[in-house]
Amino acid sequence: MNPPALVSVIIIFLNGEAFIEEAIASVFAQTYSTWELLLVDDGSTDGSSVIAQQYAQQYPDKVRYLEHDAHQNRGMSAARNLGICHANSDYIGFLDADDLWLPDKLTQQLEIFKRFPEAVMVYGRTLIWHSWAEPTRSPQRDYFYDLGVSANSLVYPTRLFQQLLKNKHQSPMTCNALIPRRVFEEIGQFEDAFRGMYEDQVFFSKVVLCGPVYVADNCWAHYRQHAQSCSVKNEQQSYYALRRPLVTWWKQYLSDQGIQDADVIQLVDQELWRCRHPRIAPVLVRLQYYLDRMKYLLRSLVPDFTQRLS
């Protein structure tokens, strides 16, 4: 009988004193117990460093504390990479210090990998979690994003990459994904240049382009929403300006990898144009939305509308 697969759980944190113990507890609560926990300190100045060190001292066989040289702050990508470099595992999962895993996450994801060993990643739904602050008053504020694909199936390149480009559905998230170690050996790690904003989308774009991904209907994580959360909502003009480094990176990566899918390249070029013209792009996007709505209404009113146009 083969020994159980080892999972490396990487929690990165920067001044996460308020929530880190709750995140750690959700790892200890997993129904699958063959894991190691790597607590990666990205230069914290609050009490979270001491909390992480105490866990490492109390559970030396399960938990390790890591930090950059001289306790530097190097950003989220570099912190995740430090954890990856120290992982001794068959699979790697990520959890930020303010989020939670549900107890069956690892058990259920590893069962999926047994059934679909060709998968390069398994991810599912994530609850966008507002009610943690007022659990008895505001559960209706919690919600899920639409997956955008048929659930409980393998999705092949380049479908999920196109979803990342359009940014209209739930993409893979660090808190809900589990990835075999072999994938990191094939595509590399996170890109250090992306310290915070879009660091996850850069990495996941590499994953979804390298092979089939299993997308599940299960909810495995709670993504806490609060004022200090890395995810921010911007006006459309700011959105396109902030997104430009990501889309520029995508354009170069597709070229470097020799990916010549015409539809993908066209989508990247369109998105890059919007990012280069952040004042004009929101107007055109809104106009396209109204045109699409008009076509939809006309089709519903006149069944052969499409044929009449041609």
193-251: per-residue pLDDT in tens? 999 889 999 999 999 999 999 999 999 999 998 766 555 444 455 888 899 999 999 99
Poorest-confidence range of 82-86, 278-282, 286-290?
286-290
HSE toward the beta carbon, residue 279, CA cutoff 13 A: 0
Give the separation between CA 198 and CA 213, rounded to whole angstroms. 20
SS3 content of the chain, % helix, strand, coil (to 5): 45, 15, 40
Give the separation between CA 13 and CA 43, rounded to whole angstroms. 8
**Nearest CA-CA partner of 215 in 304, 264, 147:** 147
Region 84-88 average pLDDT: 97
Do residues 222 and 132 touch, judged by C-beta distance below 8 A? yes
With tokens 């739930």, the residue in question is 170
96-129: per-residue pLDDT in tens? 999 999 999 999 999 999 999 999 999 999 999 8
Give the predicted TM-score (pTM) of the model: 0.87
